[in-house]
Chains A and B, each alone.
Chain A
Amino acid sequence: QKEVEQDPGPLSVPEGAIVSLNCTYSNSAFQYFMWYRQYSRKGPELLMYTYSSGNKEDGRFTAQVDKSSKYISLFIRDSQPSDSATYLCAMSANAGKSTFGDGTTLTVKP
């Protein structure tokens, strides 16, 4: 069983929709939770970073972490065609390596 499971998608939504992306994990030691965006044939770009449980908002993006359920989410409001990409969740117990989900490919249609 993988340490991090990510909703596989793909996901296709109309422009302006609210998008919900989700990951579950099994390792209780994870304390740091990240969401990366990866455009085709590019390197991942950090979108959101959260420590422990709680919510964090940045513009149209909101990250939620529920450590009791071992569940994290990324919400995108007012989605735009430029948001079309693969979204990767990642987690870390301490400094060093991050463990990634397999990614969810999102397409936002104009």
Chain B
Amino acid sequence: NAGVMQNPRHLVRRRGQEARLRCSPMKGHSHVYWYRQLPEEGLKFMVYLQKENIIDESGMPKERFSAEFPKEGPSILRIQQVVRGDSAAYFCASSHTRTATDTQYFGPGTRLTVL
């Protein structure tokens, strides 16, 4: 029973390029959450998605960032025209249901470095 999978694990981009981060939730999970972790800081919520729907994007920067979770395939976090300040670890988590008592399981993260 595979856990949450994220790829790539490490991603290097030059300023101005696009970054695409992928998250495959645990089997049977239809809720996905994206968090960003800057060095020496905790995780900051970005977006919560259910299949084909964005439920809460209150933590997403207004520009350059977008997320989707299509009916088929992984959830994608897309960062356009990356800047050095986007360098961070990006984690996704998944849960089975929407209830607050449902555990969020985290993936290993994608470490983005912007040169």
Contacts and interface: CB of A to CB of B under 8 A. Distances in A.
Contacts of A44: 43, 91, 106
Contact of A102 (B40, B45, B100): B40
Which of A45, A90, A96, A99 counts the most B-chain CB atoms under 10 A from its CB? Answer: A96
Given A32-B100, A44-B43, A97 B48 contact: yes
Contacts, number: 64
B55 interface: yes
Sorting the interface of chain B by its residue count into under 10, 10 to 19, 20 to 34 or 35 or more gives 20 to 34
Contacts of A96: 33, 48, 55-56, 98, 100
Interface of A: 4, 6, 31-32, 36, 41-46, 49, 51, 88, 90, 92-103
Contacts of A98: 33, 43, 45, 104
